[in-house]
Chains A and B, each alone.
Chain A
Amino acid sequence: MAEKILMKGNEAIAISAIRNGVDGYFGYPITPQSEVMETLMKEKPWETTGMVVLQAESELSSINMVYGGASCGKKVMTSSSSPGISLMCEGISYIAGAELPCVIVDVMRGGPGLGTIQPSQSDYSQAVKGGGHGDYHCIVIAPASAQDMYDFVDWGFELAFKYRNPVIILADGIIGQLMEKVELHPMKPRRTEEEVLRDAPWATLGKPAGRERNVITSLSLDANTQENFNRKLKAKYDDIRENEVKFSEYLTEDAEYLFVAFGCSSRICEAAVDILREEGIKAGLIRPITLFPFPEKEISRLAGQVKSIMSIELNLGQMVEDVRLAANGQCPVGFYGRQGGNIYTPEEIVEEFRKFNNLK
């Protein structure tokens, strides 16, 4: 039987990185995710798996360390929270432009500016729509439990290497701080240099005589070259949209009303659905697990089935725009959110649901 450990989501990220053969972590402290690097430093993986862990002088530096490490074909990652991710956006754009694999964990807190250190989901748009400059997408996956935090590190690297694309694990202060039971899977060893070169023949690990030099760059001054590259990226993103959408559904089969929520909000909505079901109201929930690619087909299908949809988010209404696009006028789409670190309760969501649907 797999070992079961009680741990915080943030700790699960760190332990998972060590156990899944990650080569390097580069980070900078910021609440509410500092436990990630603290746990790594406490575990000293450089003495066991050989994993490199380094506290950088800034988030700018840590994301560029990730850029350098990813250029070597290594499994490298960083973690931060909202203001730190803003600083990293330059680097993420370069990583996307150089088509490098990496995993970036964003344990969201409230903003804008220095904002609050309390939980929030107000960086949905930043993560899903870009953040940095240029036409690019990160693959964005949204954990809702400590177990997800553990599992998504490995899944994130799988996606990152499959598509040579940065992957953001978009968590929030609740998922980062919540302690739950985490089941540990068997250890995966770090890859040897031969295995790295097999997976990433483009890696800059030194040019042997007889092969072209490997150059990692996002620069092309020629308009046509750049346009062709942009189109190549588009084709890749379409491929991701086609093949990697992941979501979970709760009581949607006979649902007359639908909630859409991701991360911690999806769990609170699940409890709201239970309350409504007890009262005989056929509510259901869809939880997008991938935010890019967004489960638009499934939401579109459900929009044809239900009387209304509500998007529930810890922000002023960001994902709801994608829900509206997916619903495409088939049914009314409403929104309820809290901000500043305030978190809705299931009862509060039920009350807002009644208001929106004119139900007593």
Chain B
Amino acid sequence: MKEEIIIAGFGGQGVLSMGKILAYSAIMQDLEVTWMPSYGPEMRGGTANVCVIISDRKISSPIITKYDTAIILNQQSLDKFEDKVKPGGLLVYDPSGITRAPARKDITVCSIDAIEVAAEAGNPKVYNMAVLGAYLQMKSIVKMENVVKGLEKSIPARYADMIQKNREAIEKGKEKVKIISSVL
């Protein structure tokens, strides 16, 4: 098993921490992971993206050009990464940041209205967890119990209340994901 994921959006949308929680969840399942951000001026606003690789074997190159899954949170990222999803792969996107819908027919496309989940929860910080939930609904590569462990590892003890809130947002994301087109 090897899953290569790109998560891309604006800085501040929780792109890097979503990747980190996903990576930590995989470690809790005794899988190998790499988490490679684009860094530099982009850290200060603008687009942010992180490449996460999860595998049951040692990972060689952390640098890849094609992805099994693209998680897309703004238009720039859709323009940049839609073509880089492997045929038969998955694209999860948040339609609120998108002006042109994905056009690929050879991949599974689904959307998640994560802003709505965050608004219902009354907490904008759980936005990224709703997106993560949508992804995990489509590809259950890590078990929910390990996702909770990943949350516990990623969130400092003083924010312990956030673990439950994040968990709820993940569950909501799982419920609310909409399949637009499927090749599965």
Contact = CB atoms under 8 A, between A and B. Distances in A.
A and B touch in the complex (CB under 8 A): yes
Contacts of B153: 5-6
A143 to B, nearest CB: 13
Interface in B91-122: none
A344 B61 CA distance: 10
A345 B63 contact: yes
B162 interface: no
A264 B33 contact: no
A220 B172 CA distance: 74
Contacts of A4: 27
A343 interface: yes
B65 A178 contact: no
Contacts of B37: 177
Given A4-B27, A179-B23, A268 B34 contact: no
A347 B60 contact: no
A180 interface: yes
B61 A271 contact: yes
B35 A274 contact: no
B36 interface: yes
Contact of A177 (B33, B36, B59): B36
Contact of B61 (A32, A180, A268): A268
Given A6-B23, A118-B40, A174 B63 contact: yes
Contact of A179 (B20, B40, B60): B20
Interface in A152-185: 173-174, 177-181
Interface in A61-80: none
Given A4-B27, A6-B23, A6-B33, A177 B64 contact: no
Given A6-B23, A178-B62, A347-B65, A117 B34 contact: no
Nearest to B30: A4
A71 B25 CA distance: 45
B127 interface: no
B62 A174 contact: yes
Interface string A178-218: 11110000000000000000000000000000000000000
Contacts of B81: none
Contacts of B40: 31, 117-118, 341
A32 B39 contact: yes
Contacts of A271: 60-61
Interface in A7-42: 31-32
- Which of B20, B34, B62 counts the most chain A CB atoms within 10 A? B62
A65 to B, nearest CB: 28
Contacts of B60: 267-268, 270-271, 274
Interface string B1-43: 0000000000000000000100110010000111111011000
A72 to B, nearest CB: 36
Nearest to A182: B27
Contact of A345 (B27, B36, B59, B64): B64
A253 B56 CA distance: 25
Contact of B32 (A5, A31, A177, A181): A181
A347 to B, nearest CB: 6
B33 A181 contact: yes
A50 interface: no
A341 B39 CA distance: 11
B63 A343 contact: yes
A173 B60 CA distance: 17
B52 to A, nearest CB: 9
A346 interface: yes
Contacts of B62: 174, 178, 264, 267
Contacts of A270: 60-61
A6 B65 contact: no
Contacts of B23: 6, 179
A195 to B, nearest CB: 35
By Cβ-Cβ distance, the 3 closest A-B pairs, closest first, are: A179-B35, A271-B61, A270-B60
8 contacts: A6-B33, A178-B36, A179-B36, A264-B62, A268-B61, A271-B61, A344-B63, A347-B65
